[in-house]
Amino acid sequence: MSGVKVKNYINGKWSGSITGRTLSRSNPANISETVCTFPRSDAKDVDSAVKSARSAFEGWSRTPAPIRGHYLIKVAEILESRKNELGKIVTKEMGKIFPEGLGDVQEAIDIAYYMAGEGRRLQGETVPSELANKDAKSIRVPVGVFGMITPWNFPIAIPAWKIAAALVCGNTVVFKPSQFTPLCATKFVEAFHEAGLPAGVLNLVMGTGSEVGNPIVNHRGIDGISFTGSCDTGRQIQAQCAKLGKSCAAEMGGKNAIIVMDDANLELAVDGAIWGGFGTSGQRCTAASRLIVHEKIFGRFAKEFASRATKLRIGDGSKKETQMGPVVSEEQYQKVLNYIEVGKKEGAKLVCGGKTAKIKEKGYFIEPTIFTGKQGMKIEQEEIFGPVVTMVKVKNYEEAIQVANGTKYGLTGSIYTQDVNTSARAEKDLRTGIVYINAPTIGAEVQLPFGGAKASGSGYPEAGGKGGAIDFYSRIKVIYRDYSGKLQRAQIDVGY
């Protein structure tokens, strides 16, 4: 076993797990290559991290918010200076192609700069009092210690969404990354360490969900949980947080649809379907895994879409010519192949793909796979999280909306049309947290909230804007200051 050895980060120091146990992570594009070994932590390590975060909370919460924001500026600058290096690490450890790895890091840079600016806003409001010589206002205050449980598909960006917002609001953090991306997490936390973040404000504990994630959720010293991952796990976390009286925000995936109307720019729609369906090998909660296509153009669209998909160059994401990399793990590889078999048994027509990609690299590679099917099939309803897209033919706009809304999920939705009235209707009719017009279901920006409806999300969304992460990581405190020098009784001494 080779590869880099990485450690937990607790109270400003790098250390192994208390038991000394370790796990390893391999390159999904070359399974014989060990990327790193990392601590297999447990509840004792979590407890140490929580104590560190609790101890640091008082001082950090009293640090002026603009100064907290300045630390984030330093972090953004460090990430920016290392963007190329970090992008390569994302590609090697997670598998996405290098340009996407760079995009992952850029999103972290963007959110760090954005949330740094929130340090000079963090707005409450001042309103008139009904009584003379009395002020009435609200301010934002931190919640406490947050546990962050993040996935592997955006190993730099998603931790940045959560941690930057939590820190600028004055909270401290215990961060558990996916066991598939421990090196990415380490390199990300290194930026905070080098920025001079006070010890204990941000703590990193690595390991499995059962041995680290569960103790974080259940720890009495943690006030809130932010989770991104599967629906089943998210619901379990929500239920446990409800029992313990903790704040909880969970982003839990999607089964996102692109609607292609008969008046759509066909070439543009195919471009969007390729990027939305097969970008990151379909391993995005926002992936366009369903295409709902008007019957008048279905044949032409399907032919062009399949032609483009079969020409995608599959391989190691670090190679310049690669357009689609592997799925992240053996488990995910088997899951995707199993869903492909389910689709065949359900009677869906396999248009292309459907098997392991025959390439020289020894990794978890699956061909871009396209089915034509109908509403209600498992492959049309359930999140596969791989390079599998199902096309459904519809007669009109009303049927397209009905099919698009006909799953338990509601994260993102898209429509391609050149009719401004149709697009305006879709903005309201799509029951999703995010809607795209003439663009695929991926491509959110950090200055607006990111989150879904129905089973796709619970609690406050991620990222910025009104109703976004700041509202989750802070709470409103209302202050009344009476400088009249006498007892005044609201609603009684109003005088009208």
Residues with a catalytic annotation lie at: 251, 285
Among 278, 255, 269, 271, which residue's Cα sits nearest to residue 367? Answer: 278
- What is the spatial distance between Cα 37 and Cα 93, in angstroms, rounded to a whole number? 12
**For helices 83-94 and 182-194, angle between their N-to-C axes, nearest 10 degrees:** 160
Helix (H, G, I), strand (E, B) or coil at 321: coil
Q: Which residue has the tokens 């204990």?
A: 200
Note the residue count of the chain.
496
- What is the spatial distance between Cα 54 and Cα 173, in angstroms, rounded to a whole number? 9
Q: E-strand spans in 339-429?
A: 349-352, 369-373, 388-394, 409-410, 412-416
- What is the spatial distance between Cα 73 and Cα 122, in angstroms, rounded to a whole number? 16
Q: Report whether 44 contacts 10 (CB < 8 A).
A: no
- CA dist 88 to 35, 58, 103, 298, Å? 12, 38, 11, 39
User: Residue 150: left if φ>0, alpha if ψ -120 to 50, beta else—which one?
Assistant: beta
**For helices 157-168 and 182-194, angle between their N-to-C axes, nearest 10 degrees:** 40
- What is the spatial distance between Cα 323 and Cα 344, in angstroms, rounded to a whole number? 26
- CA dist 129 to 104, 123, 475, Å? 47, 19, 22
Quote the distance between the C-alpha of residue 60 and its chain's center: 26
